[in-house]
């Protein structure tokens, strides 16, 4: 392990040294420990940190020690000595509280009792008359998290005098879900192929695996599901378990447990059984033996994630049983080892009257019937990671079940890898939504952090946007959403602006004339994409299979709910899905007063209008425009906003690294092209139903609808 950690240090040190001499390629993510450019801050930090002392030598403490060497030397531009005893003023002391006599006499015991096993304290202290900055915690991983927090303070040029920081995660399990296949492809992945090279594991440990762990630990992510939810059962064979164990060893010092997606039919596909029925004793015994085998390779294995009875995947309903029956089968097998089961609520049947209602209808009756070590993993919206959806009503309907959020960081429906979209506003919109489950203030965030219903097993997952591209996420701005997910998983109360500000400072510059323009781009970016793709509650009007580009005309699938026309319901009268009491009555799945608010045409927020209502084209909106005109204005505003993003970004030339600037310049050019494509295709298509002119002053599309309907993209990522 020490050899692995030293290899990581050597790599990052080399990268840090070379960064001055070459263009930045995005590999270092937000962990760019470049020399602080503000002379006043540099002098202040050098005066405050003349040396550092690290107590302990566990693999996790070694990781913290190496991070300090890299970070302090790079940021302060000088070799900061590590000392073995307190012999000077202005020192940084790092260590687990219970392990060092240095901490005796510090009155922080009550604070340590509050922060749990992963929290940390950073404070200013006088020890034997000497000035010290202290980073401590109850455990080694808490110390490592504290080290990353302290280095972030230096990176973002914060005041480090008179510190008194108490920090701990609000959510227990903070996960990345990798939809990576064993053949190296990534389902809905837009940053190249998988970062896991199963062929060369377990012997060849890529430095990239270590840097992956460092990056995740720096934002508090503590779990990784390594394989696709459409699971290949071979991941649980000995051939792959030794490889999984090698990754687990790399991740362990950074507080990251590994998890695997399990195929429900594994007893049939791997065990030669004739059934996977959860009630069959032979099936139960098979899972117990398989779990025992997994833990023999990976003693701290986290558990399973399961996609069952969805999109062709096997599951308990194949045997006339409930989803709880299936989840509890695995939960009982893994409970003796302290493992957990994350059971996805993304379950639907074809030909439903309203697919958006099905998860609620399937899982609401099962509240309280899942084992205590099961988390029901629910997508943020009731449908499927759309640019904008109302929150899933399940978050306000299952107080007796451990509920876990599932966000999508990879942008399957938000422009994929070519668009600049900062997802923190989307995450925050969901987390801040009020379920009214126990009256006003019963937010989704309080549901998933356990505080609303008293749950202690809590979780949040993000479908990873990480791939084999050198900059990890394809478009470097994709890193900001990975970063935002981790920061919100640790503390859902952070604002989008706070997170954007941190990331910009760590990635580009601490200069205000850089921060403010990029903040403006980031904080508006998600709304811009909604405007030129799915305004006013439209949804699922994407190209078939690959979900790349517009396809509101798609109506040829044998599964009605795989057709765009199923969702927008455009006709000569109007557009939108009637989910009121006169339609599918999906509004009744929301608690009062939301059911009445969403169900009222006048009171429904404009952003969800066409999600809940079929609205006449000539309906007068709140500001006096007709629905048709308002749709057009949104589509055109989306394009205008992308062009404004281009202008803002171009103004930054010469103020940030040229390679990074030029890369984003090209991506914004692609995005501008795609925004025009979306606008023209959708306006022309919906115009065939409204029969109304495009409002005066807006330029007319220069291509015909037939042209847009005929476009093909056989090489688009995600094409089946």
Task: Please list the active-site residues.
Answer: 311, 384, 412
C-alpha span between 410 and 431 (Å, rounded): 18
Cβ neighbours of 694 (radius 10 Å): 17
Tokens encoding 462: 């993000």
What torsion do the CA atoms of 389, 390, 392, 396 make, to the nearest 10 degrees?
170
**Do the beta carbons of residue 568 and residue 577 sit within 8 Å?**
yes
**Do the beta carbons of residue 665 and residue 650 sit within 8 Å?**
yes
Three-class secondary structure of residue 335 per DSSP: helix
How do strand 223-225 and strand 173-177 relate by DSSP bridges?
Answer: parallel
SS (H, E, C) 421-462: CCCHHHHHHHHCCECCECECCCEHHHHHCCCCCCCCCCEEEE
**Do the beta carbons of residue 85 and residue 45 sit within 8 Å?**
no
**Do the beta carbons of residue 377 and residue 459 sit within 8 Å?**
yes
DSSP string, 246-312: HHHHHHGGGT-EEEEE--TTHHHHTT--S---TT-HHHHHHHHHHHHHHHHH-TT--EEEE--SSTT
C-alpha span between 505 and 500 (Å, rounded): 9
C-alpha span between 61 and 669 (Å, rounded): 45
C-alpha span between 520 and 564 (Å, rounded): 32
**DSSP type of residue 177:** E
Phi-psi region of 345 (alpha: psi -120 to 50; beta: other; left: phi over 0): alpha
Residue with tokens 């957990």: 340
* Alpha carbon of residue 270 to chain centroid: 32
C-alpha span between 64 and 93 (Å, rounded): 12
Q: At what angle do helices 496-507 and 424-431 cross, to 10 degrees?
A: 150
Q: Pick from 177, 473, 179: which is nearest to 311 by CA?
A: 179
**Do the beta carbons of residue 370 and residue 344 sit within 8 Å?**
no
C-alpha span between 532 and 682 (Å, rounded): 9
Tokens encoding 223: 């779990």
Using DSSP, how many helices (H) and how many strands (E) does the chain show? Answer: 22, 15
C-alpha span between 169 and 145 (Å, rounded): 10
C-alpha span between 604 and 594 (Å, rounded): 9
At residue 35, φ and ψ (nearest 5 deg) are -55, 130
Kindly provide the residue ranges of all beta strands, DSSP E only, lying in 444-584, ordered along the sequence.
459-463, 574-575
**Do the beta carbons of residue 539 and residue 545 sit within 8 Å?**
no
At residue 574, φ and ψ (nearest 5 deg) are -175, -155
Three-class secondary structure of residue 213 per DSSP: helix
C-alpha span between 378 and 564 (Å, rounded): 23
Helix/strand/coil percent split, the chain, to 5: 45, 10, 45
C-alpha span between 411 and 584 (Å, rounded): 29
Q: At what angle do helices 281-297 and 323-334 cross, to 10 degrees?
A: 50
C-alpha span between 259 and 445 (Å, rounded): 24
């Amino acid at each position: 392990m020490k050899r692995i950690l030293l290899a990581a240090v050597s790599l990052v040190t080399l990268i840090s040294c070379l960064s001055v001499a070459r263009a930045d390629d995005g590999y270092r993510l937000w962990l760019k420990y470049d020399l602080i450019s503000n002379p006043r801050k540099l002098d202040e930090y050098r005066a405050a940190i003349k040396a550092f002392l690290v107590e302990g030598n566990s693999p996790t403490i070694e990781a913290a020690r190496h991070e300090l060497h890299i970070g302090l030397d790079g940021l302060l531009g000088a070799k900061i000595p590590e000392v073995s005893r307190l012999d000077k003023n202005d020192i940084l002391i790092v260590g687990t509280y219970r392990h060092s006599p240095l901490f005796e006499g510090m009155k922080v015991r009550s604070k340590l009792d509050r922060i749990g096993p992963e929290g940390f304290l950073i404070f200013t202290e006088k020890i034997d008359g000497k000035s010290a900055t202290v980073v401590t915690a109850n455990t080694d991983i808490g110390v490592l998290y504290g080290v990353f927090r302290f280095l972030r303070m230096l990176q973002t040029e914060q005041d480090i005098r008179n510190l008194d920081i108490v920090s701990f995660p609000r959510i227990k399990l903070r996960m990345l879900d990798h939809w990576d296949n064993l053949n190296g492809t990534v389902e809905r992945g837009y940053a190249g192929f998988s970062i896991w090279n199963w062929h060369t594991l377990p012997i060849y440990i890529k430095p990239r695996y270590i840097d992956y762990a460092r990056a995740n630990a720096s934002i508090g992510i503590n779990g990784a599901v390594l394989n696709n939810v459409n699971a290949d059962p071979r991941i649980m064979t000995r051939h792959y378990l030794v490889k999984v164990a090698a990754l687990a060893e790399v991740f362990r010092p950074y507080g990251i447990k590994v998890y695997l997606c399990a195929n429900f039919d594994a007893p049939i596909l791997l065990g030669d059984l004739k059934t996977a029925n959860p009630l069959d004793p032979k099936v139960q015994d098979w899972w117990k033996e398989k779990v025992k085998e997994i833990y023999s390779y990976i003693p701290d294995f986290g558990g399973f994630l399961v996609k069952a009875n969805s999109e062709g995947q096997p599951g308990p309903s194949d045997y006339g049983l409930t989803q709880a029956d299936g989840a509890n089968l695995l939960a009982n097998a893994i409970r003796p080892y302290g493992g957990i089961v994350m059971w996805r609520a993304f379950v639907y049947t074809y030909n439903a009257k309203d697919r958006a209602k099905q998860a609620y209808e399937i899982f609401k009756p099962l509240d309280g019937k899942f084992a205590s070590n099961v988390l029901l993993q629910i997508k943020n919206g009731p449908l499927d990671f759309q640019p904008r959806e109302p929150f899933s009503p399940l978050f306000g309907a299952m107080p007796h079940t451990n509920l876990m959020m599932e966000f999508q960081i990879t942008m399957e429906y938000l422009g994929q890898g070519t668009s600049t979209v900062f997802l923190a506003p989307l995450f925050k919109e969901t987390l801040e939504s009020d379920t009214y489950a126990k009256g006003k203030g019963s937010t989704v965030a309080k549901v998933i952090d356990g505080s609303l219903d008293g749950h202690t097993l809590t979780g949040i997952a993000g479908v990873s946007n990480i791939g084999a591209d050198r900059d990890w996420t394809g478009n470097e701005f994709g890193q900001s959403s990975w970063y935002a997910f981790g920061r919100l998983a640790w503390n859902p109360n952070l604002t989008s602006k706070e997170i954007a500000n941190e990331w910009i400072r760590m990635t580009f510059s601490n200069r205000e004339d850089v921060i403010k323009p990029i903040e403006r781009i980031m904080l508006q970016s998600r709304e811009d994409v909604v405007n030129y793709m799915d305004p006013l509650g439209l949804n699922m009007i994407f190209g078939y299979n690959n979900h790349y580009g517009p396809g509101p005309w798609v109506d040829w699938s044998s599964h009605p709910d795989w057709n765009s026309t199923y969702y927008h319901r455009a006709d000569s009268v109007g557009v939108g899905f009637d989910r009121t009491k006169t339609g599918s009555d999906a509004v009744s799945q929301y608690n009062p007063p939301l059911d009445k608010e969403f169900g009222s045409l006048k009171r429904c927020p404009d952003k969800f209008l066409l999600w809940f209502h079929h609205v006449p084209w000539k309906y007068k909106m709140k500001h006096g425009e007709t629905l048709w005109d308002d749709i057009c204005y949104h589509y055109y505003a989306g394009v205008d906003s992308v062009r404004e993003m281009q202008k803002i970004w171009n103004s930054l030339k010469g103020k940030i690294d040229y390679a990074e600037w030029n890369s984003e310049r090209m991506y914004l050019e692609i995005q501008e092209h795609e925004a025009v494509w979306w606008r023209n295709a959708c306006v022309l298509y919906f115009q065939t139903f409204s029969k109304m002119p495009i409002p005066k002053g807006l330029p007319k599309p220069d291509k015909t609808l037939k042209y847009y309907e005929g476009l093909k993209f056989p090489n688009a990522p995600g094409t089946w």
